[in-house]
Amino acid sequence: MKIRIARIGFIVTFLWVFTSAMGQSFSQSVPNPFLEFQNVEGHSDKFDFFFGAPNRYSENSAYDWLEVVNVYLSSAKKIADSSAIQSYEIIRAKIYSDLEDFDKSVNLANGLYENKELLPENQKRAILNILDDSYANLKLYDKQIEVREAKINEGFNENISFYDIYAAIGLYEEARNRYIMEVKPTIADNDSFSLAKYHNQIGDYLRLDNSERVAISEYKKALGYLEVFINSISVDKTEQELFESDMLKAIINGNIGKCHVQLNEYREAVPLLESSIAALEDAPGAKSKRKIVENTLDLAEAHLQLENYREAKTYLDRQFDSISVFQEIKKNRLLAAYYDKNESYRRASFFYKRNERLKDSLETNESSVLKQQLVAIVANEDLENSQRMFEEQKSANELIRNEMQAKEDSFNLVLISLFFTLLGFAGLVYAYLKSIKNQRLIAEQKHIIESSLTEKDSLLKEIHHRVKNNLQMVSSLLSLQTKNTRSKAAIAALEEGKSRVKAMALIHQKLYQNDDLSVIEMQGYIESLINSVQSVYKKGGHNISITIDAEGTELDIDRAIPFGLILNELVSNSFKYAFPESDENGKIYIHLRKNGEQGYFEYSDNGIGLPDDTDERTHSSMGLRLINRLVNQLQSKLNVDRSNDGVRFWFNFS
């Protein structure tokens, strides 16, 4: 026994030493960019390391980086080292952009660029790239165009194009055509990684333009090129390229999943979207976060359509640091559909109404903002054309300086081009001003329509209020007549008539108290009706246990009035006849449900039941004849069950 315990102790000790050694070895083998940054000497080398780090937030968050950079910045300010201050301020601007605080990032970067004459080339380039990304995320495309013009003026001509701005404002076909013309010629046939990014981008433009099948073929081409790049042993790959290839693969899988969702192929979409989200959660930056939000909403939609409601709700309940208005609208739409399918109609209505408010706000601003961006892009293209023509003119003058006539002709050509450019711009301004006038007219008409609808609702409420008051007056007249009548049969008949009038008056009262004048919420109405009937039969019904199951059921007035009268008769009969000796253990159960076009009604009590000659009495009893006629009015047939204790009535209706 002692030998066995010693062996176990030796094995445990060996495993502990082995795992500790492996843990230390693993932690030493995985580089930590945050620690490496702090070990780099000099602000200039720190600047280069930060912007060259492939995955700077892999071990520490952007907030950790911001904290340590603020310490370096504070030290630089104490010794008034302006060069170091510039370096750390630019790094801060980039970190704020990564944290999606784009306003603060833009303010910092613009302040630094005001002293561009004092900045080295790598810092100018970094600032302009920060401004380019931040303005794109803020959807300030006119400002983004200015930044790209500044890049051209500074000589940073690589990768300067405008196809991404066309895509951002929804001109996907134009964006794709420009992307193909500008990018495809720059990619070498053996550059597999660049070809993968190229085909993924083409797929994006096709997917957004609702060409999902063609988009999937482009995405699969991108995956093929990516596999060639990853498996190639002849090409040395940097850590940055390996990281980017993993992220690109995750993005492509997510894009294919989104295509399947658009094509209603939900089962194919689910595994692709799940794998994409899992991979992208390890990646920093605003782009990865946006992709996670997009993929999560598409995954929720797929589960919703597959009736996996619990999984769909789990994804819809996820909280995101940043979500666009369009994504918020999509999330609200999916939540409304979820609650609709689970018959929580009030919750569904809440999200439908929230979306209507968002859409109204979006439609008010979207049109004018879009036109401003289009004007900015057109103006930019005119500027590019004018600049290109000026360069051509300058080259021609240098080649044929002695040919004055050619110079004069070229100058006239420039004047004519400028004239037509100004004429076109004036046409755009005129069209823009005309669109503003049309929008104002539309807004005025919308206001008139809304005022008319409000007035109509007020009139309808007033009508229902007056009908209710008139019915109450009829009820009061019946009460007066009761007091002046000595016949017990007449008094009973008048009391029954008064109860029926109250049931109808209650319908109109509920209608004018509702925001929605077209339907009545039946749970509250039935409760009020029961109280009204109890007030008529003061000596009975107060000890009876009444269960009402009609929560969430709404009926229009054409159905609500027959139901009210039917219930009035049934409850009155139970109070009068079902419990002749004692109602201590009396029970009444009322069930009402409507699902789409089909409905079901059930009423039961545990009283003494109906007498044996009920069928003969049906023809002579006013209450039973009224119930049958009202059920016929609902295009149904009344069913009666007397097999158990008490009695049970039920029928289906449409």
* Banded pLDDT at 367 (limits 50, 70, 90): very low
Provide the pairing of β-strand 554-556 with 598-605: unpaired
> Helix 622-633 crosses helix 557-573 at what angle (to 10 degrees)?
150
What average pLDDT does the segment 619-640 reach?
Answer: 82
At residue 458, the pLDDT reads 65
Of 210-219, 400-409, 440-449, 464-473, the poorest mean pLDDT is in 400-409
Look at 616 and 337; give whichever has higher pLDDT.
337
pLDDT > 60? residue 366: no
Tokens 């079901």, residue?
A: 600
* Banded pLDDT at 402 (limits 50, 70, 90): low
Buried b (16+ CB within 10 A) or exposed e, 574-584: bbeebbeeebe
Buried b (16+ CB within 10 A) or exposed e, 35-66: eebeeeeebeebbeebbebebbbbebebeebe
At residue 268, the pLDDT reads 92
At residue 399, the pLDDT reads 64
Highest mean pLDDT among 15-19, 444-448, 619-623: 444-448
Q: Which amino acid is at 539?
A: K
Going by C-alpha positions, the residue among 546, 597, 571, 579 that lies closest to residue 649 is: 571
Of 385-389, 433-437, 441-445, the poorest mean pLDDT is in 385-389
Q: Which amino acid is at 231?
A: N
Tokens 């289906």, residue?
A: 652
Look up the CATH number of domain 536-653. Answer: 3.30.565.10
At residue 517, the pLDDT reads 64
What average pLDDT does the segment 575-586 reach?
Answer: 80
Buried b (16+ CB within 10 A) or exposed e, 71-100: ebbeebeeeeeeebbbbbbbbbbbbbbbbb
Both structure tokens of 255: 């894009």
DSSP state at residue 540: S
Strand positions, DSSP E, 6-60 = none
At residue 343, the pLDDT reads 80
Going by C-alpha positions, the residue among 164, 184, 159 that lies closest to residue 175 is: 164
Helix (H, G, I), strand (E, B) or coil at 1: coil
pLDDT > 70? residue 539: no
Q: In what order do the strands lie in the sheet with 545-549?
A: 545-549, 587-595, 598-605, 647-653, 639-641
Helix/strand/coil percentages in the chain, nearest 5: 75, 5, 20
* Banded pLDDT at 216 (limits 50, 70, 90): very high
Both structure tokens of 293: 């939000």
Measured distance CA(25)–CA(28) in Å, rounded: 5
DSSP state at residue 118: G
- Options 1.25.40, 3.90.550, 1.10.3470, 1.10.10; CATH for 37-160 is 1.25.40
Of 21-25, 86-90, 100-104, 357-361, the poorest mean pLDDT is in 21-25
pLDDT tens readout for residues 186-214: 888 888 888 999 999 899 989 988 898 99
pLDDT tens readout for residues 445-490: 888 777 766 666 666 666 666 666 777 777 777 777 787 787 877 8
What average pLDDT does the segment 605-630 reach?
Answer: 74
Determine the Cα angle at 135 with ends 132 and 136, to 5°: 80
Is the overall model pTM greater than 0.75, yes or no?
A: no
Measured distance CA(292)–CA(298) in Å, rounded: 10
Measured distance CA(39)–CA(42) in Å, rounded: 10
pLDDT > 60? residue 500: yes
